[in-house]
Chains A and B, each alone.
Chain A
């Protein structure tokens, strides 16, 4: 199918559909909205987009990055209508039915990106991972910690790190975070990394970096230096890294 974008009317219909999912009478998936000329716009130059089952934020970001890289399209990251259309297109994977067979779409920013002032763009289920992948396109594996999760459940670690542009765009920091907390054998964060309280967790990592930030320019530090500078409470994650 050719890539399109939802216009304001299309986004309103999409919101109406999403709102209905938590109400008494859930609407059926609006297939026709993807191509409705009243609700969508053609994107020029034309780009083909295919249905996939991605399985992870990383796989989706990789595919979309490949699609957009040589697409001739500009200002993709700020194109709300495009990302809203993509979220609708990949709706099945982004909103799988829960235990009672109903989809829970969650907050609107997951479907239609919030741009501008607060940089809540990262909450969009597709634009979020895409932007992280694009920021680390020379070596996306360094951002694996925030790309390894499923598309529909990004998780607390993503919220902690990706919510701050200053952290998520920092090469050394992202590599250090993935080195410490990403378990390559399971393709998941290490056990205990996302715990809200406790020693050496991702939250503590960010706290400690805020302290380093007073003395060091975090952008200038290499991942290895950063990991070495961390206090003993991180040894649990450091040692599993070395092993």
Chain B
């Protein structure tokens, strides 16, 4: 049984709607805002409140005062992360009295909204993160416990434009999709599609949402994993007209 499911100390789980994080751009870089509503959780007013931002091995912690007297820190800058893409958040409520440091309530893996997002429920399934240390590599897929990131070489200039480029889309995204599904089924051996806090379930749900794709094969049906992934990748390409996209580029390139 995963350790995370044990809860001997009756730690409360803060709902997503009570811990909303949004990111906005300032002149000097990204800053986050937190909308915290803890009234319904019956937490001691002298408990400490922290918000933590993290991505892979990077981490920064912000003190938000006490549950009974929330004090929003002035410094909510994410500049240490260089780019705020793919940064996740955690809200923690911690005892101040004995036993000191006990977790009373927590919300983890909070995906922030961007101030430019129009859809409040939008969850970025594949954050695209610029990386200046990629040398001669153009893109790279990275996994951690919370999500999967598509890193692109920021040395190439406008990395946002790069990932929207039709050739990049056509050649990279089907491979990315296939690799992620492969990782989830073969390596992580994850088949649950219900857990909306788990990036693997979200990706499986995304696959199921494609035309003609049924639930993934069960754990003991490994001989059908590959078929299912092939079908999902094929459906993904059809849905996004990958061939047409590439054909337009390729025909144009040949005519030149």
Contact = CB atoms under 8 A, between A and B. Distances in A.
B220 interface: no
A139 interface: no
Contacts of B164: none
Interface residues of B, number: 33
B9 A215 contact: yes
Contacts of A216: 101-103
A165 B103 contact: no
B3 A211 contact: yes
A68 interface: no
A147 to B, nearest CB: 19
A118 B142 CA distance: 10
A169 interface: yes
Given A215-B8, A216-B103, A165 B58 contact: yes
Interface in B1-44: 3-4, 6, 8-9, 11
B101 A117 contact: no
A220 B57 contact: no
Interface stretch (B127-135, B170-178, B179-187, B200-208): B127-135
A224 B77 CA distance: 32
Nearest to B60: A165
B139 interface: no
B3 A214 contact: yes
B94 A220 contact: yes
A220 B95 CA distance: 9
A164 B9 contact: no
Among B48, B61, B100, B101, the one with the most A-chain Cβ atoms within 10 Å of its Cβ is B101
B82 interface: yes
Given A116-B83, A164-B59, A165-B57, A214 B101 contact: no
Contacts of B231: none
B101 A217 contact: yes
A218 B151 CA distance: 30
Contact of B133 (A114, A163, A221, A222): A114
A118 B57 contact: yes
A166 B59 contact: yes
Contacts of A109: 133
B228 interface: no
Interface range on chain A: under 10, 10 to 19, 20 to 34, or 35 or more? 20 to 34
Interface string B53-66: 01111111100000
Contact of B101 (A164, A165, A221): A221
B59 A117 contact: no
B234 to A, nearest CB: 32
B59 A120 contact: no
A109 to B, nearest CB: 8
B113 interface: no
Contacts of A120: 133
Contacts of B57: 118-119, 163-166
A219 interface: yes
Given A217-B101, A217-B103, A119 B58 contact: yes
Contact of A117 (B4, B102, B151): B151
A115 interface: yes
Among B9, B48, B61, B142, the one with the most A-chain Cβ atoms within 10 Å of its Cβ is B61
B8 to A, nearest CB: 7
B135 to A, nearest CB: 8
Interface string A212-233: 0011111111100100000000
Interface in B97-123: 100-103
B76 to A, nearest CB: 17
The 8 closest A-B pairs by CB, nearest first: A220-B101, A116-B82, A166-B59, A114-B133, A165-B59, A217-B94, A119-B58, A117-B131
23 contacts: A117-B56, A117-B58, A117-B81, A117-B83, A117-B129, A117-B151, A118-B56, A118-B57, A119-B56, A119-B57, A163-B57, A164-B57, A165-B59, A214-B4, A215-B8, A216-B102, A217-B94, A218-B101, A219-B50, A219-B101, A220-B48, A221-B101, A222-B100
Given A117-B149, A165-B60, A166-B54, 8 more contacts: A117-B56, A117-B82, A117-B129, A118-B56, A216-B101, A217-B92, A217-B103, A220-B101
